[in-house]
Amino acid sequence: MRTAEDVHRADRGHTAEIAGCVGPAGVPAEACLYHPDCVLLAVRDYLGLARQVALPPQKWVSRTGMVAILTTPYDTRPDWLRAGQALQRVLLYAAAHRVRAAFHTQPLEVPSLRAEVRTSLAFGRFPQMILRLGHTTQRWPTPRRGPADTLVGSDAPVR
């Protein structure tokens, strides 16, 4: 995570895109106020805090949750679809048991690091998602669009 996040933080275009995700239609600003390196797995630096503050104020080494890697045998479109279906089931099961999920896809967005995850952690399978699962007392609701706003070419009311 740390290496991937360093790659992303060095890319001004990427940091500008990530910063644009914060606000009323995206990630709540109050969810981004902590230094992104306070946890064992570096998180996305939505507000550029790593560049503003040299070191995190403290490390939260406990309570990092369980890390899971969702993999597929191949890297084809049908595999991507099956991975999405599996992720849906994992997230629904987790939510039903009050387990929160945090996505850590940074290494999968850097081809050389995705290949490293594949060989060193995924037993040769193709990693499609890395997520952290656990319990937390902090949560920030994010806005959701309705089905009619997300379906392309759908003018009919959703039932």
**Whole-number pLDDT of residue 84:** 97
Three-point CA angle 32, 36, 41, nearest 5°? 125
**Whole-number pLDDT of residue 83:** 98
- The neighbouring-strand residues paired with 126 are 72
- The neighbouring-strand residues paired with 102 are 132
Cα 67 from Cα 64, distance rounded (Å): 8
Longest dimension (CA), the chain: 52
pLDDT tens-digit profile of 44-90? 777 776 666 656 666 665 566 889 999 999 999 999 999 999 999 99
**Whole-number pLDDT of residue 35:** 75
How confident is the chain (159 residues) per 10-residue block, as mean pLDDT?
A: 87 86 78 74 74 62 79 98 97 95 92 96 96 82 74 59
**Whole-number pLDDT of residue 2:** 84
